[in-house]
Amino acid sequence: MKLALVGDIGGTNARFALWRDEKLESVRVLATADFAGPEQAIGHYLAGLGLAVGSLGAVCLAVAGPVSGEHFRFTNNHWRLSRSVFCRTLKVDELLLINDFSAMALGMTRLREHEKLQICPGVADPDSPAVVIGPGTGLGVGTLLPLGEGRWKALPGEGGHVDLPLGNLREATLWQQLHDQLGHVSAENVLSGNGLLQLYRAVCAVDGHAPRLASPAEVSAAALAGDPLAEDVLDLFCGWLGRVAGNNVLTLGGRGGVYIVGGVVPRFAAFFQKSSFARNFASKGCMSGYFEGIPVWLVTAEYPGLEGAGVALQQTAR
């Protein structure tokens, strides 16, 4: 019997695993920069396990960007994919492509209690949509809909590219600085790894500081070490994430809760819990009361996108 493979491919890393008996096996993380395309990366993955091309029956790849048609161009790396060429090259019977945040949303159905931290208390409405949002290489946004009988639907979208919302004069001043540099200012321009550095430089420009930090990691590390400027930047980042997440809850009726995912926020989880996220999340004027009882969790699971790709394969098989 042929094997099933799942993949979660972002801008920087591609994660692969075998999917057997509804569980992940042999997870490997490869740098996308090291391979010409997904076929080469998966071939390398299989070779590392002593498996030949042709061992795979079904493959589900979670990919960043809108999915449709024969061809797919990855949003944040140089890879491209043709469905027919992929299946022919790897001798695969079935290829399922899904949006990466659709996979991330489906992955929330497999979380264990120790894989999430509560940011805002509440009880999720099991019949309502849940919002899944996460800064990483970009900003991903997904929606999880319960269908009953243990089935779920994940709605794909490009919510990371909505306009950056403004809630006070300070944010408006920073937005103007960002607009002068970028033109259109999307949520992703601030709420991503590179966005954190972009925000730091904007704060320095507005407040008259010479920028001395050169990477997102340096900004977050300085904030955690007590540097006042970096703390201000990181809190602005968290607060803006709260505004965007809250907007999604209002748009979707997301009383099923909010899951904060991605590789950025878990690096400063304790700071995030005390940040302006929760205040800005529910700061919606006459609709602020709507947010009472809506839970928010920070997801710390290692491979939720891979888990969600496995759930997608299962549901397709059914």
Kindly tell me if the per-residue pLDDT of 25 is higher than 90: yes
Kindly tell me if the per-residue pLDDT of 132 is higher than 80: yes
Q: Return the pLDDT at 273.
A: 97
- The average pLDDT across 171-196 equals 97
Q: Is 150 exposed, middle or buried (0-12, 13-18, 19+ CB in 10 A)?
A: exposed
Q: Return the pLDDT at 73.
A: 87
Query: How do strand 116-120 and strand 94-99 relate by DSSP bridges?
Result: unpaired
Helices (H), 20-164: 38-48, 83-90, 100-107
Kindly tell me if the per-residue pLDDT of 9 is higher than 70: yes
Instruction: Give 151-164 pLDDT, tens digit per residue.
Output: 899 987 889 999 99
Question: Domain ranges in the chain?
Answer: 3-100+303-317, 106-161+240-299, 169-239
* Residue 137 assigned to a binding site: no
Mean pLDDT score across all residues of the chain:
94
Q: Which residues of 33-53 are buried (b: 16+ CB within 10 A; e: fewer)?
A: eebebbbebbbebbeeeebee
Whole-number Å distance between alpha carbons of 177 and 240: 16
Kindly tell me if the per-residue pLDDT of 240 is higher than 80: yes
Instruction: Give 70-95 pLDDT, tens digit per residue.
Output: 999 887 788 999 999 999 999 999 99
Q: What is the DSSP string of 173-195?
A: HHHHHHHHHHSS-BGGGTSSHHH
Our CA dihedral for 124, 125, 127, 129, rounded to 10 degrees, sits at -60
Whole-number Å distance between alpha carbons of 289 and 299: 25
Asked whether 151 and 317 are in contact (CB, 8 A), the reply is no
* Residue 9 assigned to a binding site: yes
DSSP annotation of 248 reads: H
Lowest average pLDDT, out of 113-117, 136-140, 209-213, goes to 136-140
Q: Return the pLDDT at 238.
A: 98
CATH of 3-100+303-317, one of 3.30.420.40, 3.40.190.10, 3.40.50.620, 3.40.80.10: 3.30.420.40
Question: Going by C-beta distance under 8 Å and a sequence separation of 6 or more, which residues neighbour residue 284?
Answer: 246, 250, 290, 291
* Residue 11 assigned to a binding site: yes
Q: Give the CA diameter of the chain.
A: 65
Kindly tell me if the per-residue pLDDT of 42 is higher than 80: yes
Q: Return the pLDDT at 10.
A: 82
* Residue 10 assigned to a binding site: yes
pTM of the predicted model as reported, rounded to 2 decimal places: 0.91
Q: Which residues of 183-199 are buried (b: 16+ CB within 10 A; e: fewer)?
A: eebbbbbbbbbbbbbbb
Angle, alpha carbons 30-73-258 (nearest 5°): 70
Whole-number Å distance between alpha carbons of 127 and 146: 6
Question: Going by C-beta distance under 8 Å and a sequence separation of 6 or more, which residues neighbour residue 140?
Answer: 64, 100, 101, 104, 132, 133, 134, 159, 160, 261, 262
**Domains 3-100+303-317 and 106-161+240-299 fall in the same CATH topology:** no
Q: Return the pLDDT at 69.
A: 87
- The average pLDDT across 161-177 equals 97
* Residue 133 assigned to a binding site: no
CATH topology of domain 106-161+240-299: Hexokinase; domain 1 (3.40.367)
Q: Return the pLDDT at 270.
A: 97
* Residue 195 assigned to a binding site: no
Q: Band of the pLDDT at 11, cuts 50, 70, 90?
A: confident
Q: Return the pLDDT at 1.
A: 61
